[in-house]
Amino acid sequence: MVVLWGGAIVYALCAVGWFYAFRHMKVSTIAGLYGVTTVILLTMMGVFIFHEKLSWWEISGIGCALISIALLSRFG
């Protein structure tokens, strides 16, 4: 039962976050941020939980994704 309430609280917080984001940012910026955030969080999970190793190509790809978000935030 605690997991159910915890999931409901996390879901509600995400909904509030999306509401805030859509009021203050462009949809293109939000979509890019969502995509990059998903990739980074899944990569961190793979590295820290599953002990996967990242190649230099993968690390540079994540760096380029972060730069794209910075550019969207600045000029988007």
Q: What is the pLDDT of residues 25-39, one digit of tens each?
A: 888 888 888 889 889
Max Cα distance, the chain (Å): 45
Q: Tell if the pTM clears 0.85, that is, is over it.
A: no
What pLDDT score does 69 carry? 86
Band of the pLDDT at 44, cuts 50, 70, 90?
Answer: very high
Provide the residue range defining the domain that includes 35.
Answer: 2-75
Bigger pLDDT: 43 or 75?
43
pLDDT at 76: 66
Dihedral (CA of 43, 48, 54, 56) sign = positive
Q: What is the mean pLDDT of residues 45-59?
A: 95
Distance CA 58, CA 47 (A): 12
Total domains, the chain: 1
Contacts of 58 (CB under 8 A, 6+ apart): 43
